[in-house]
Homo-oligomer: A and B are copies of this chain.
Amino acid sequence: MRFIALPTLLAAAALSAAATSVSSPSGELVLDVDVDNAGTPVYSLAYKGRPVISRSVLGLEGKEASFTSGFTVTGTDTITVDRSWQPVWGEYADVRDHFRELAVHLRADNPARLLTLRFRLFDDGLGFRYELPRQDNVNYLTLMKENTQFDFTGDHTLYCIPGDYDTDEFLFSEVRFSGLEDEMAPRLTRPAANRPAANGATCIQTPMLLKTDDGTYISLHEAALVGYPAMLLDVDCPEQSMTAHLAPDRLGVSAYLQLPFATPWRTLIISDDARDILASQLILNLNEPCAFDDTSWIKPMKFIGVWWEMFTGNVKTWAYSDDYRAKPGITDYSALPSNGRHPANTANVMKYIDFAARHGIDAVLVEGWNEGWEDWRAYRKNRQFLFDKAYPDFDVDSLRRYATDRGVQLIMHHETASNAADYERQLDRAFSFMKQNGYNAVKTGYVGDIIPRSEHHTSQWMVDHVNYVAGRAADYHIMVDSHEAPRPTGLCRTYPNWLAQESARGGEYEAMGSNPPSHTCILPFTRLKGGPMDYTPGLFETRLSYYNEGKTYQAGTTLARQLALYLTMPSPLQMACDLPENYERFPDAFRFIEDVPVDWSDSRYLEAEPNRYITVARRDKHSDDWYVGAITDDNAREALIDLSFLPEGRKYVATIYEDAKDAHWKDNPQAYNIRTVKVDSRKKLRQRLAPGGGAAIRITPAEI
């Protein structure tokens, strides 16, 4: 670790007239910070000499005090930090954290208010946050608005989803500033969705991406969202400018703060090479180090699950019975007849365990195991699910023994129907129940509107809630996979038991209207910048009509592409989402899922363009094997896979899982070919990808 501290405390008088400037270690990014004539803090950012953000305001508005204007600079500190850290799991064994930091200390008078703006300028971008130090005149701050502005410099292309306080399960729009309003107007339709603001702005969500006409990519998000609501963005399209829009609670308050307080980091990842956006670890670097001394209990893993059965044909149910009046804790479920369509039963789960054991899959998720699914309409019930009460046909004790004997883990499911209050009420008992029954991971769910009814999915209380669940789970050595939680902001660095989240439109939508092939070509540029996604790849039977003639649509993917997703959508928790019987129809292709690791010592992004294509190579953390994944949108493509990352001179065998020549996501999705080629570091593979297709390659050292 190199650490060079250069504190530079300058006199206020000398500074207040002049801008403070700092550049990234490489010098390619230059940040200017100043206060304008009204004493409002402003900043601007340039990349390779071209403006990226022009003079934009900063400020916080609270009920008790305003931190928006009247400021003078009382001093600045600048340090340079160059250090590295080793994640418990991830894309790299080693992450470099190299930045120049500028802290600008501000003071306003009558009454006196103190504010520090802290900027970290990396070679691949900028992070900055507000720090409200202890001060005499403000203790509590009821935050109503954050004024952070991002004033862009042209009619860039935006890759983004509609603003909404309660969901981010959308497809991405690719649209210029000038077309955003028309594009988003019909998409802001949910009652709970944020509506265009009074000034006519259009609301979108982060993580989002911009591309300038001269080829600069800008990823905009936030890091370390703790004790604060999620940031959406109000876009002023004519001005090509965005302003922070904090998800409020239903009383209209953004956050209830007590000083001292530091906001999350607002992050801009910037490069003229799209691959750098994917490779950037900036958001993780801006999060706090791992909070745990012992991480030996945290295990990246692959899993299958009693889950897809409920999506395929609207036949199987999470519920045990059809009595929609059944109430957990009140109804005697053992006296209810099963509806006969409840796959979370002991015999079926044993079949999944058998399959997992046979194929080296680490774990089995079971959804619909606990009382309450007959009727779980959100927002209606102050008491919903019981998290320590299994359905009568789900024998927790037998399954624990059966799974343990076969070396398979069970993953518990905690759907809350968004009654987060009820979940917190039961949390200790729920986690104790898990540990007693041998579960070491939980998938949480927040479908519906939130209880407490004052809250949204992304308001401060809910942000606190999901962070609390992750931390409390760690106390029990439980790993977490959150669904319908606020989108991640790199907190998995601090809480590495928080393996993955959904927080985007996932693979389940293949059964609910399908995802176009481009969807997984934009997620890594946006959603994945916050952290791993439980996207649930591995769909082999992509035609929903296979189960149900009425469902004429099908997944936007070939079978081979599904294998590639294990590389392009990196996660320490990867599902093989399809039914065991479908995998048994394609055992040679399933072999790739058996083999592919979920934890990496190195990653090389070889080709990338948002919404178009991604090609990535990764090295297994526990062997010398490399894996390559390549995907395209609905256009066929030839990926160029330069294997120069391999150690020079060493011989390898590449096993290539590829689209067959006539494969097509729509007409012929299951046509694939598996072949092996000898390769070394001088090899450049030209790999054809079908429309909506992909390729997955395992590269193993050749036996001598």
Q: Name A468's closest neighbour in chain B (CB-CB).
A: B425
* A99 is an interface residue with CB less than 8 A from chain B: no
* A341 is an interface residue with CB less than 8 A from chain B: no
Q: Among the listed B134, B227, B256, which residue makes an inter-chain contact with A380, where contact means beta carbons less than 8 Å apart?
A: B256
Q: Which residues of chain B are within 8 angstroms of A425 by Cβ–Cβ distance?
A: 424-425, 427, 468
* A429 is an interface residue with CB less than 8 A from chain B: yes
Q: Report the bound CA distance from A27 to B310 in whole Å.
A: 61
Given A250-B251, A452-B421, A453-B452, A460 contacting B428 (CB threshold 8 A)? no
Q: Among the listed B142, B324, B325, B382, which residue makes an inter-chain contact with A256, where contact means beta carbons less than 8 Å apart?
A: B382
Question: Can you list, as one digit per residue, whether each of A310-352 has a CB less than 8 Å from chain B (1) or not (0)?
Answer: 0000000000000011010000000000000000000000000
Q: Among the listed B227, B421, B453, which residue makes an inter-chain contact with A249, where contact means beta carbons less than 8 Å apart?
A: B453
* A137 is an interface residue with CB less than 8 A from chain B: no
Q: Establish whether residues A380 and B258, one from each chain, have CB atoms under 8 Å apart when the complex forms.
A: yes
Q: Among the listed B327, B454, B460, B468, which residue makes an inter-chain contact with A452, where contact means beta carbons less than 8 Å apart?
A: B454
- How many residues does chain A have at the interface if contact means C-beta atoms less than 8 Å apart? 37
Copies in the complex: 2
* A381 is an interface residue with CB less than 8 A from chain B: yes
Q: Name A260's closest neighbour in chain B (CB-CB).
A: B325
Q: Which residues of chain B are within 8 angstroms of A451 by Cβ–Cβ distance?
A: 452, 461
Question: Can you list, as one digit per residue, whether each of A421-462 has a CB less than 8 Å from chain B (1) or not (0)?
Answer: 100110111000000000000000000000111110000110
Q: Establish whether residues B139 and A453, one from each chain, have CB atoms under 8 Å apart when the complex forms.
A: no
Q: Report the bound CA distance from A383 to B383 in whole Å.
A: 22
Q: Establish whether residues A453 and B251, one from each chain, have CB atoms under 8 Å apart when the complex forms.
A: yes
* A464 is an interface residue with CB less than 8 A from chain B: yes
CB distance from A448 to the nearest CB of B (A): 13
* A83 is an interface residue with CB less than 8 A from chain B: no
Q: Establish whether residues B256 and A379, one from each chain, have CB atoms under 8 Å apart when the complex forms.
A: yes
Q: Report the bound CA distance from A260 to B250 in whole Å.
A: 30
* A377 is an interface residue with CB less than 8 A from chain B: yes
Q: Report the bound CA distance from A382 to B256 in whole Å.
A: 8
Q: Which residues of chain B are within 8 angstroms of A260 by Cβ–Cβ distance?
A: 325
Q: Establish whether residues B424 and A464, one from each chain, have CB atoms under 8 Å apart when the complex forms.
A: no
Q: Report the bound CA distance from A429 to B620 in whole Å.
A: 42
CB distance from A63 to the nearest CB of B (A): 11
Q: Report the bound CA distance from A377 to B258 in whole Å.
A: 11
Q: Establish whether residues B140 and A377, one from each chain, have CB atoms under 8 Å apart when the complex forms.
A: yes
Q: Among the listed B253, B382, B454, which residue makes an inter-chain contact with A460, where contact means beta carbons less than 8 Å apart?
A: B382
Q: Name A142's closest neighbour in chain B (CB-CB).
A: B380
Chain A 124-144 interface residues, beta-carbon cutoff 8 Å to B: 134, 139-140, 142
Q: Establish whether residues B134 and A325, one from each chain, have CB atoms under 8 Å apart when the complex forms.
A: yes
Chain A 229-269 interface residues, beta-carbon cutoff 8 Å to B: 249-251, 253, 256, 258, 260
Q: Which of A249, A375, A380, A382 has the most CB of B within 10 A?
A: A382
Q: Name A325's closest neighbour in chain B (CB-CB).
A: B134
Q: Establish whether residues A382 and B461, one from each chain, have CB atoms under 8 Å apart when the complex forms.
A: yes
Q: Report the bound CA distance from A377 to B427 in whole Å.
A: 26
Chain A 104-157 interface residues, beta-carbon cutoff 8 Å to B: 134, 139-140, 142
Q: Report the bound CA distance from A382 to B140 in whole Å.
A: 13
Q: Which residues of chain B are within 8 angstroms of A142 by Cβ–Cβ distance?
A: 380
Chain A 250-305 interface residues, beta-carbon cutoff 8 Å to B: 250-251, 253, 256, 258, 260
Q: Which residues of chain B are within 8 angstroms of A324 by Cβ–Cβ distance?
A: 139
Q: Report the bound CA distance from A381 to B382 in whole Å.
A: 22
Q: Establish whether residues B455 and A382, one from each chain, have CB atoms under 8 Å apart when the complex forms.
A: no
Chain A 546-604 interface residues, beta-carbon cutoff 8 Å to B: none
Q: Establish whether residues B464 and A382, one from each chain, have CB atoms under 8 Å apart when the complex forms.
A: yes
Q: Establish whether residues A380 and B140, one from each chain, have CB atoms under 8 Å apart when the complex forms.
A: yes
CB distance from A218 to the nearest CB of B (A): 33
Q: Report the bound CA distance from A460 to B460 in whole Å.
A: 23
Q: Name A464's closest neighbour in chain B (CB-CB).
A: B382
CB distance from A139 to the nearest CB of B (A): 7
Q: Name A421's closest neighbour in chain B (CB-CB).
A: B421
Q: Report the bound CA distance from A381 to B451 in whole Å.
A: 17
Q: Which residues of chain B are within 8 angstroms of A251 by Cβ–Cβ distance?
A: 250, 453
CB distance from A319 to the nearest CB of B (A): 15
Q: Among the listed B139, B377, B421, B454, which residue makes an inter-chain contact with A424, where contact means beta carbons less than 8 Å apart?
A: B421
Q: Which residues of chain B are within 8 angstroms of A382 by Cβ–Cβ distance?
A: 227, 256, 460-461, 464
Q: Which residues of chain B are within 8 angstroms of A429 by Cβ–Cβ distance?
A: 428
Q: Which residues of chain B are within 8 angstroms of A428 by Cβ–Cβ distance?
A: 428-429
Q: Report the bound CA distance from A250 to B252 in whole Å.
A: 12
Q: Which residues of chain B are within 8 angstroms of A256 by Cβ–Cβ distance?
A: 379-382
CB distance from A120 to the nearest CB of B (A): 24
Q: Establish whether residues A383 and B250, one from each chain, have CB atoms under 8 Å apart when the complex forms.
A: no
CB distance from A552 to the nearest CB of B (A): 32
Question: Can you list, as one digit per residue, whether each of A446-490 has a CB less than 8 Å from chain B (1) or not (0)?
Answer: 000001111100001100100010000000000000000000000
CB distance from A638 to the nearest CB of B (A): 53
Q: Name A465's closest neighbour in chain B (CB-CB).
A: B382
Contacts A249-B453, A454-B454, A454-B455 known; list 7 others, CB within 8 Å. Answer: A250-B453, A256-B380, A425-B425, A425-B468, A452-B454, A453-B454, A453-B455
A-B pairs with beta carbons under 8 Å apart, 29 shown: A139-B325, A140-B377, A250-B250, A250-B251, A250-B453, A253-B453, A256-B379, A256-B381, A256-B382, A258-B325, A258-B375, A258-B380, A382-B460, A382-B464, A383-B464, A421-B421, A421-B424, A424-B425, A425-B425, A425-B427, A425-B468, A428-B428, A451-B452, A452-B452, A452-B453, A452-B454, A452-B455, A453-B455, A454-B455
Nearest 9 pairs of A and B residues by beta carbon: A452-B452, A454-B454, A453-B454, A424-B425, A428-B428, A382-B464, A256-B380, A140-B380, A452-B454
